[in-house]
Structure 1
Amino acid sequence: MLDILRRIVQEVNNAADIPSALDLMAKRVRDAMGTEVCSIYLLNEEEQRYVLMASEGLKREAVGHVSLGLSEGLVGQVGQREEPINLEDAFSHPKFHYLAETGEDPFHAFLGVPVMHHGQVLGIMVVQQRDVRRFDQSEEAFLVTISAQLSAVIAHAHASGALFAQMDASADLPSFYDGLSGSPGAAIGHGVLLFPAADLASVPDRPITDISAEIALLDDALMRVRQEVRDLAERAAKSLGTEEQALFDVYLRMLDRHALPAEVIAHIRDGQWVQGALRMVVDAHVRNFEMMDDPYLRERAADVKDLGRRLLAHLQSQNRRHIVFPEDCILLGEDISAPMLMEVPRERVRGIVTTRGSRNSHMAIVARAMGIPTVVGVQNLPLKQMDDKEIIVDGFRGRVVANASAELKHQFEEIIAEEASLQAGLEKLRDEPAETADGTRIQLQVNTGLMTDINRSLERGAEGVGLYRTEIPFMVRDRFPSEEEQRVIYREQLSAFAPHPVTMRTLDVGGDKSLTYFPIEEENPFLGWRGIRVTLDHPEIFMVQIRAMLKASEGLDNLRIMLPMVTSVFEAEEAQHLIHRAWLEVRDEGLEVAMPPVGVMIEVPASVYQARALAQRVDFLSVGTNDLTQYLLAVDRNNRQVADLYNSYHPAVLHALLHVVEQAHEEGKTVSVCGEMAGEPGSALLLMAMGYNVLSMNASNLLKVKAAVRQVKVSFIRKLLNEVLAMDNGEVIASYVDLQLEKAGLSDLLRHRKNI
């Protein structure tokens, strides 16, 4: 039975569309169970009825037309009870409702099970038989298992708006496609589908005799593609910083004669023509990367494919498709590489949507640096149908909308205009202090990682950097950056913000962050080798980074060093010992560098309960609320199955935050917050009421938080904090905070979290 189940699920997942998937499911289940009827009813929420969407055994003309109310018939009874109903004679049940249109007269035996997803009934699956008999336990278990598998297919179709629209070809209803936010913001524009000029998959094998001629063709193509990448890098230099431009250095290294080309030449020497050899090498690398669990490594597959296609295009001497980019361009594609993005006129790009990739892809990094709203990993988006269609990109929620109603489009137009207007209105606060109406100040800093963050941060009046993510310079290379390369990068950050402090987090890889040249493969990476654990196990990496930081701070003295993922006092002490050793080495080289303050991040429950002990040994604490919330609630916020359980207003999170700041202050140490809670006005005010000294956030949120701080009194936010600390439900707390801030006149600053 397990083999049958696997085959059914595989066939359904490969179906061309939802109606085909449902028809296939009904047929395969009927055959597998040896029954006479299998039907699938799905809930139409708008009509509040269960609609017969597929059936094997009932009249075909009834499909798509027959429906039952939520409490009507045995189907409605299954939905209301949210559990299977197994009857030997359906006709004798008081809830039986006869539907003449379906031709179900002769069927007595009835087994119905709910199709559920995240606690919601999406539909009902029913099997029927002429005999008066009860389906046995194994049959019931099989149908329950099948319905659980079907629920994912139905949920995807339901979310996209395709569930009932595909049954009616004339329907032109709004369609919603969920992915992941690659870069925040909203945009409206017309889709432009980017696809490669050359198709590697269509290249056949072909034997050759003149090996030298094929290698010469490869060398010529390599020369042209290298120049193409250099030209793109030059264009990128106008809008990207040094670190982001390093992405193009990675491309050039991959094109080095000793890298991918060497493998292509090896196949040519075996007698394969150059195009076939290129296909074989690219396919092998892509397969290897795509099979890897680590998201960073999977992203490298897109880079290899892009280079392969570029080389093939030159080998085939084909001109690329001439694409006309409209003024309001939404770029679409399975994968859009950073070089592909740079080929498009920046002033025309409103948004980006990909069906693959993650927020850590090279393209997403560049998109954030350029401030382009981006949604990635929109798996169920029908790309070919989106070309030249008007599309809404919701980078706040990670959602794409097609066929938007006039009302919905108008709502997003207002949001876009209000965001621009709000930002323009907030600009006047740039040089004003983050001070409450009754005179209490808090320091607002920024989280950075890209060089392009510097200007945006300074334009918004940042008072320093609360978190500089040093892993970014490591990510955009295909090797560890040297001490001097790191020193140059760090110096630029420290100089730009001097005399304000810059808190540099030491290399934080592992979990959902890895390096292509330093893979970490684990069953459970979030509970594995990450953060300080990695660098303490590799002091040679740690020492080079600390030395680079110290040298970069010469004459500026605004460096602060922060240790990630600390779970014990021992880790903090061991890291401090290495930092002190690096400082002595730098001093011995003749550099007059002060010993910088050293702090730890509070990201796991263990450090929450050791906050006081840690505060006794370091100079400051900084709470990473993203990971802390994830670990406290045991919720991976990137997992769509449980993402809705991730709630930073959860009572456990709020009480943990209060405990940390109280313990640190008892030791006379300052505490900051550098997670997303710091950049959301409601939670930022609660953190201020708790006594946090510094809030560090994305530069785009800084002025909103400053505006919120300046419009309230400390007495108001302390009263609000005491009220929510007495509550036991995170959703209630979030709603209550919004309500109170609206009453205080801050509704404009909250609008987007509520309405999008």
Structure 2
Amino acid sequence: MLDVLRKIVQEVSSARNLDTALSIIVRRVRKAMNTDVCSVYLLDPKQGRYVLMNTLGLNAAAIGQVSLAPSEGLVGYVGQREEPVNLDDAPTHSRYRYLPETGEERYHSFLGVPIIHQRHALGVLVVQQKVKRKFDEGEEAFLVTIAAQLAAVLAHAQASGSLNITSTGHREMAVFEGLPASPGVAIGQAVVIMPPADLDAVPERPCESVEEEKEFFRAALKAVRDDIRSVGLKLANRVSTQEQALFDAYLQMLDEESLGAEVFKHIEEGHWAQGALAYVVKRHVKYLEKVEDSYLRERAADIRDMGRRVLSYLQAGGDVSRVYPDKTLLVGEELSPALLGEVPKEKLAGLISVKGSSNSHLAILARAMGIPTVMGLTDLPFAQLDGQQLILDGYRGQVITNADDKLLRQYELFIEEEKALTEALEAEAGLPCITRDGHLLPLMLNTGLAADHARALAYGAEGVGLYRTEVQFMMAERFPSEQEQVALYRQQLSAFSPREVTMRTLDIGGDKPLPYFPIKEDNPCLGWRGIRFSLDHPEVFLSQVRAMLRASVGLNNLRILLPMISSVREVEEARALIRRAWVELKQGEGLAVNKPLVGAMIEVPAALFQIRALSERVDYLSVGSNDLTQYLLAVDRDNPKVAGLYSGYHPAVLNALNKIARDSHAARLPVSICGELAGDPAGAILLLAMGYQSLSMNLASLPRVKAAIRRVSVEDARELLKKALSCASTDQVIGHLGVFMNDLGLGWLAGPKAQTPSTH
């Protein structure tokens, strides 16, 4: 049965259209289960009825003509229950309805299973037999599996507009859930980027002249390197020097001493250039795709992209020039950073990538450039969307196809309001962040690549609350030298002097492995990451700490933050190494280095219950709300299937954050917070009420949060917090926040997920 199931799934997945897929299912299922009838009923949202779309065994003339309301018949009963219905004598069931057009009066046995996609019933798959018998568990499980496969096919058909149940020509709206990689909303025309060449389709062929093939490959290699350099130059004014390092990495891949050298060797063994290139690229990709590290898997995509580009020159002399319409939404299975420079800046509205995560190269660049982006859209039939109008919601992580006029207008109004709001907020960005009753709440900046220092200071940032030092390590091809780190850290410290800059020590592992130091683990988020790695590699840790201290000479605005702390022993060992580095520089080299404040990051649940002990060993605490929320709720934010369960407004998360603030105050230990919750205006008001002494967030969030804080009193905020902490569910918390923000006239500042139009 497993082999039969696999063959059916393969045939359905490769079907050229929906009608073919339905035909395959009814034929194959009827044969595999040896039943008299197999039928598919699909729900027509406009009629609100289940329509017979294909059958083998019932009257073929009934196809498209017979339909049932959800309250009618056994088919409607299956759809309502959203679970299988297995009967040995269907006509005796109270919900049975006789449909003379189908000729089904001869059949007694009935097994119907719902076709469900993302919690929504799309239809019902039915098998029937003349004899009275109940289908066994194996048969039922088989049909459930087939229905699950059909659900994905239907979702794709819905998105592409080929799901036409009532022959009205109307395309049904479909919403695809992915990962919010870069915030913002865009409405535009899809431009689907397909691979420029198919590496898997290159045949093996001996070469007639080794030297000619090598020269041919060398010319293609040079052409692609020139293309990449051109892209880098186009983006020079749009991204930082660090971000341009991504393109340097691309060029290194194409170096004749790297990937190119392997291809030359293969050509010398007698293979033609195309075959040699395909062999080398596929071998590298196959290896990298097997590793657990998400960062290395992203590198596999980069190498595949480079290989395709070179192959396209070998095959046809380069890429075909594309025409990009206004408000282009770039769509592809694996979009690469190099594509960003190919689209004119004024025409690019957003990015949609089927694969990838919020930590990919593309996502990092998109956030730096302010391009709304959604990734991880595993169900999106991207190849069928070229030229279609799409809505991209980078706040919710959604892509909407075939949107109706009402929803389209709602999103258009939202985009207009966002633009007007941004302009209005920038007008008061330079004012102090002080509540109506005079409480000052400093707002700090989160950064990792190259921050827009001038803009951050104009927005009133009081310093840097979180500088992610690992980004430099992730972009490099090796561990950065101490002097390289000094130069980068000095730039950050100088830009914000005399304001404090909190530098987090290397936080790799989990979703941030290094390409040159792979960490293979079954559960990387609970593995060798953060301070655990640093303490096991003191040579790396000491080099980084020395670089921070050297960079701070004469500025004295450095604070060091230790990530992923779960025990006091980790703090003691880290502080001993920091003191050792300080002594070496002060006494050994005679540098006038002030001893910086050292803090612990609270992001592991265990640290919640050790604040008193930590207060004796650190100078301050900084809560990492993103990871803390992820660990408390056991939700992987980069997994689209469960990302919807992640919320900083979960009552458990709010109570944990409140406890941290209370315990820190009791221990007289300064406490701040960084993460998505701090950058949301409603969340910031709750954190104000809890007593957090500063909030750290991304640059774009600063004006919104400041506007919210300036319009409330501490007493108002505490009243709201009291209600939120008494809630039993996330929905209740969000409900109270919505009422509060509207009552105070702050609805226009509500969190973006609450404000963007609902599709449900």
The interval holding the TM-score normalised by the smaller chain is over 0.9
Q: Where do residues 266-277 of structure 1 align in structure 2 (5 Å cutoff)?
A: 266-277=265-276
CA gap 1:15/1:502 in 2 versus in 1, 3 angstroms:
farther
Name whichever of 596-605 and 586-595 sits farther off: 586-595
1:667, CA displacement in angstroms? 1.6
Which residue of 1 is the match for residue 254 of structure 2? 255
CA contact (8 A) 1:249 1:477 kept: no
Which residue of 2 is the match for residue 35 of structure 1? 35
Distance (whole Å) between structure 2 residues aligned to residue 315 and residue 144 of structure 1 = 47
1:161-186: CA deviation from partner (whole Å, max 9, x where unpaired): 85844774822343433332221111
Distance (whole Å) between structure 1 residues aligned to residue 526 and residue 173 of structure 2 = 41
Name whichever of 218-227 and 474-483 sits farther off: 218-227
Q: Taking structure 1 as the reference length, what is the TM-score of the superposition?
A: 0.94
- Which amino acid in 1 is paired with 2:689? A
Partner SS state of residue 434, structure 1: coil
Name whichever of 382-391 and 365-374 sits farther off: 382-391
- 2:447 is the counterpart of 1:448: yes
Which residue of 2 is the match for residue 550 of structure 1? 549
CA gap 1:391/1:727 in 2 versus in 1, 3 angstroms:
closer
Name whichever of 13-22 and 344-353 sits farther off: 13-22
Distance (whole Å) between structure 2 residues aligned to residue 570 and residue 18 of structure 1 = 60
Q: Where do residues 491-640 of structure 1 align in structure 2 (5 Å cutoff)?
A: 491-587=490-586, 588-640=588-640
Percent of aligned pairs with the same amino acid = 52
1:96, CA displacement in angstroms? 1.1
- Which amino acid in 1 is paired with 2:745? G
CA gap 1:94/1:305 in 2 versus in 1, 3 angstroms:
closer
Distance (whole Å) between structure 2 residues aligned to residue 392 and residue 318 of structure 1 = 35
Distance (whole Å) between structure 2 residues aligned to residue 64 and residue 536 of structure 1 = 67
1:24-51: CA deviation from partner (whole Å, max 9, x where unpaired): 3333332222111122334444533333
- Which amino acid in 1 is paired with 2:685? L
Distance (whole Å) between structure 2 residues aligned to residue 167 and residue 544 of structure 1 = 68
1:270, CA displacement in angstroms? 0.8
1:511, CA displacement in angstroms? 1.7
- Which amino acid in 1 is paired with 2:428? L
Q: Where do residues 320-331 of structure 1 align in structure 2 (5 Å cutoff)?
A: 320-331=319-330
CA contact (8 A) 1:602 1:621 kept: yes
CA contact (8 A) 1:357 1:376 kept: yes
1:267, CA displacement in angstroms? 0.5
Partner SS state of residue 635, structure 1: coil
Which residue of 2 is the match for residue 696 of structure 1? 696
Partner SS state of residue 170, structure 1: coil
- Which amino acid in 1 is paired with 2:132? V
Distance (whole Å) between structure 2 residues aligned to residue 79 and residue 281 of structure 1 = 51
1:510, CA displacement in angstroms? 1.7
Name whichever of 165-174 and 282-291 sits farther off: 165-174
Which residue of 1 is the match for residue 104 of structure 2? 104
1:226-261: CA deviation from partner (whole Å, max 9, x where unpaired): 344333333332221121011122122222332101
Distance (whole Å) between structure 2 residues aligned to residue 371 and residue 406 of structure 1 = 27
Q: Taking structure 2 as the reference length, what is the TM-score of the superposition?
A: 0.94
- 2:28 is the counterpart of 1:48: no
Aligned residues: 755
Q: Where do residues 232-631 of structure 1 align in structure 2 (5 Å cutoff)?
A: 232-316=231-315, 318-587=317-586, 588-631=588-631
Partner SS state of residue 105, structure 1: helix
1:650, CA displacement in angstroms? 1.6
Which residue of 2 is the match for residue 71 of structure 1? 71
Distance (whole Å) between structure 1 residues aligned to residue 148 and residue 312 of structure 2 = 45
CA contact (8 A) 1:109 1:130 kept: yes
Distance (whole Å) between structure 2 residues aligned to residue 62 and residue 550 of structure 1 = 79
CA gap 1:400/1:134 in 2 versus in 1, 3 angstroms:
closer
CA contact (8 A) 1:162 1:175 kept: no
Structure 1 segments unaligned to the other structure (5+ residues): none
Which residue of 1 is the match for residue 59 of structure 2? 59
CA gap 1:386/1:169 in 2 versus in 1, 3 angstroms:
farther
CA contact (8 A) 1:369 1:453 kept: no
Name whichever of 198-207 and 504-513 sits farther off: 198-207
1:394-443: CA deviation from partner (whole Å, max 9, x where unpaired): 21122223333333332222111111110110112222111111111111
CA contact (8 A) 1:110 1:128 kept: yes
- Which amino acid in 1 is paired with 2:112? G
Distance (whole Å) between structure 2 residues aligned to residue 207 and residue 475 of structure 1 = 40
1:544-597: CA deviation from partner (whole Å, max 9, x where unpaired): 221221112121111111111111111111111111112222222232221111
CA gap 1:395/1:81 in 2 versus in 1, 3 angstroms:
closer
Distance (whole Å) between structure 2 residues aligned to residue 14 and residue 529 of structure 1 = 41
1:275, CA displacement in angstroms? 2.3
CA contact (8 A) 1:161 1:176 kept: no
CA contact (8 A) 2:155 2:379 kept: no
Partner SS state of residue 264, structure 1: helix
Partner SS state of residue 187, structure 1: strand
CA contact (8 A) 1:240 1:452 kept: no
Q: Where do residues 188-203 of structure 1 align in structure 2 (5 Å cutoff)?
A: 188-195=187-194, 197-203=196-202
Partner SS state of residue 182, structure 1: strand
1:37-73: CA deviation from partner (whole Å, max 9, x where unpaired): 1223344445333333443322334334422222211
Distance (whole Å) between structure 2 residues aligned to residue 35 and residue 455 of structure 1 = 72
Distance (whole Å) between structure 2 residues aligned to residue 411 and residue 741 of structure 1 = 20
1:309-342: CA deviation from partner (whole Å, max 9, x where unpaired): 3333444562532222333322233333222211
CA gap 1:45/1:644 in 2 versus in 1, 3 angstroms:
farther
- Which amino acid in 2 is paired with 1:469? R
Which residue of 1 is the match for residue 210 of structure 2? 211
Partner SS state of residue 346, structure 1: coil
- Which amino acid in 2 is paired with 1:570? R
- Which amino acid in 1 is paired with 2:303? V
Which residue of 1 is the match for residue 5 of structure 2? 5
- Which amino acid in 1 is paired with 2:621? L
Distance (whole Å) between structure 1 residues aligned to residue 127 and residue 694 of structure 2 = 61
CA contact (8 A) 1:494 1:553 kept: yes
CA gap 1:452/1:243 in 2 versus in 1, 3 angstroms:
same
CA gap 1:589/1:110 in 2 versus in 1, 3 angstroms:
same
Distance (whole Å) between structure 2 residues aligned to residue 617 and residue 64 of structure 1 = 73
CA gap 1:185/1:455 in 2 versus in 1, 3 angstroms:
farther
